[in-house]
Amino acid sequence: MVQDDLLLNSVPQHIKIHLVKALDKRWTAKIGLGSIALRSLIFYFKAVNKLLQSRDYDLIFFSTTQFPTLALAAIWKKRFKTRIVFDIQDPWHSTYYLSKPKHERPKKFWFSYYLNKMLEPYAMQAADGLISVSAGYLEVLQQRYPHLRSKPTATIPFGMHLPDMEIAQQNKLNAHAMCMEGVCTTGAAIPDRISCFNLVYIGRGGHDLLPAFRHLRSAVQLGLKKYPEVFHKLKVHLYGTSYAPNGSGKSTLIQEQDVQNLKGIFLESTDRLPYYQTLNTLKAADMLFIPGPDQADYVASKLYPYLMVQRPILAIVHPLSAVSTILRTIPQASVFHIHKDYAMKSSQITECLRDAILSLKSISVAEADTLRHYSAEHFTRLQTNLFDQVCQTPD
């Protein structure tokens, strides 16, 4: 698991942090148990129990994708009468993969599917309020559990914390290796040393992102035919595309048979990057790539760090997604929508990339007032407003 101890530096000094243990994965892996949520569940339960016994707390706020821990809310609510708010960052119990072939499903799909199906309703009976990065996620939960319709809710995405850039720069964390010096080695067909243009994506992989990547791949293939001297400068870097432990991830975005004529252009490293190294890598890129999945409700957690580094952005996303709506207000973003007509859409993306590589268009960045609307401070205020509403609502 990638660890980033610097993350604690961004937590205000007056905030008390409690650490809990977890069962050693070296032992639990022998029975197929790797989930940090399940390995730490008993320790987490004991630690929070001790806190709740020591004094009265008004509210417990769960903000994690380690969903099994949310099931503990029902126990604590019944025992301590504490109000509960869940922050739903991803769908918990999802039927999305039921219609997908086996090779596109996550590992241990059926175990996770039935565990989530059992635990989600148990946890949701305890909810006094809901926050989610996507209004669509809230609608699904309200349809599934009608009692939630009367609870306070808020759609609050991930914000950007500007001091994070200062932490990254102060600690001199190196950007991940790419053509950082303005030169790169290429095949014999072109000069040995040319300027590189680094298009960078840092984030998860997955079969649901393939439509966006097909658009990009088709655009690059077309660019190599129409503007070979331009597109041979392009390097597409994909980092952190697997949740598997570093060194054991499998690519889902670059398939050997699909990039035979693009070797040396598309470069993928499945290993996850620490957060602050990610920021420095994004800052060092010439352009950032945001692929969206084939689901309108999806909101990428990477969106606001991408905006924070103020680099040009190429986005290929669902036309009805919140990501599309937000990026269309950002001057440095070029937004394209996933479309069945790959040829038409790819030609537009090709021209966009050509202009970017040749610096044919001046890139203006979002103004401070625009970015402030997406700041962590602004979104935290929305969160605490909901907390107040929950605490003031009669039982």
Can you tell me the mean pLDDT for 175-194?
Answer: 44
Dump pLDDT digits (tens) for 325-359: 888 888 899 999 987 666 668 899 999 999 999 98
pLDDT of residue 322: 84
Which tokens sit at 80?
Answer: 């301590």
pLDDT of residue 343: 64
Which tokens sit at 276?
Answer: 């602050």
CA 351 and chain centroid, separation = 28
Residues 386 and 348 in one domain: no
What number of other Cβ atoms are within 10 A of residue 105's Cβ?
Answer: 16
- pTM of the shown model: 0.81
pLDDT of residue 373: 80
pLDDT of residue 199: 96
Residue 309: Cβ-neighbour burial (10 angstroms; 0-12, 13-18, 19+): buried
Residues 191 and 59 in one domain: no
Angle of helix 72-80 versus helix 109-124 axis, rounded to 10:
20
Residue 395, classed as helix, strand or coil, is coil
More confident residue, 187 or 237: 237
Residues 272 and 196 in one domain: yes
- pLDDT-derived band at 395 (thresholds 50, 70, 90) equals confident
Residues 366 and 387 in one domain: no
More confident residue, 171 or 148: 148
Overall number of domains in the chain: 2
Strands (E), 95-147: 129-132
Dump pLDDT digits (tens) for 84-143: 999 999 899 988 888 888 877 888 888 899 999 999 999 999 999 999 988 889 999 999
Residues 95 and 154 in one domain: yes
Alpha-carbon span 283 to 279, nearest angstrom: 6
Q: What is the CA radius of gyration of the chain?
A: 23
CA distance between the termini of the chain: 41
Q: Which of 40-49, 86-95, 146-155, 241-250 has the lowest mean pLDDT?
A: 241-250
CB-based contact 6:276 (threshold 8 Å): yes
Residues 185 and 154 in one domain: no
Alpha-carbon span 338 to 212, nearest angstrom: 6
- pLDDT-derived band at 33 (thresholds 50, 70, 90) equals confident
Residues 151 and 216 in one domain: no
Can you tell me the mean pLDDT for 138-167?
Answer: 92
pLDDT of residue 183: 41
Q: Which amino acid is at 62?
A: F
The kind and range of the H/E element at 201 are strand 197-202
Residue 246, classed as helix, strand or coil, is coil
pLDDT of residue 188: 28
Question: Where in the sequence is the domain holding 119, given as residue range(s)?
Answer: 5-159+376-392
Which tokens sit at 249?
Answer: 């991830």
Residues 123 and 58 in one domain: yes
pLDDT of residue 257: 54
Angle of helix 342-357 versus helix 210-226 axis, rounded to 10:
60
The kind and range of the H/E element at 74 are helix 72-80
Residues 148 and 233 in one domain: no
Residues 319 and 238 in one domain: yes
Q: What is the CATH number of the domain that holds 303?
A: 3.40.50.2000
391, pLDDT greater than 90: yes
DSSP 303-368: HHHHHHTT--EEEEE-TTSHHHHHHTT-TTEEEEE--S-HHHHHHHHHHHHHHHHTT-S------H
Percent of the chain with pLDDT strictly greater than 90: 47
Alpha-carbon span 325 to 327, nearest angstrom: 6
Among the listed residues 391, 393, 376, the one whose alpha carbon sits nearest the alpha carbon of residue 156:
376
Handedness of CA 141, 89, 331, 338 (dihedral sign): negative
Dump pLDDT digits (tens) for 46-94: 999 999 999 999 999 999 999 999 999 999 999 999 999 999 998 999 8
Residues 37 and 154 in one domain: yes
pLDDT of residue 348: 92
190, pLDDT greater than 70: no
More confident residue, 248 or 202: 202
pLDDT of residue 142: 97
pLDDT of residue 219: 94
Dump pLDDT digits (tens) for 255-283: 655 666 777 899 888 888 888 889 999 99
DSSP state of 55: S
pLDDT of residue 106: 80
The kind and range of the H/E element at 141 are helix 135-144
The residue whose two tokens read 């720069």 is 169
Q: Are strands 234-239 and 184-185 parallel, antiparallel or unpaired?
A: unpaired
Residues 57 and 188 in one domain: no
Q: Are strands 83-88 and 59-63 parallel, antiparallel or unpaired?
A: parallel
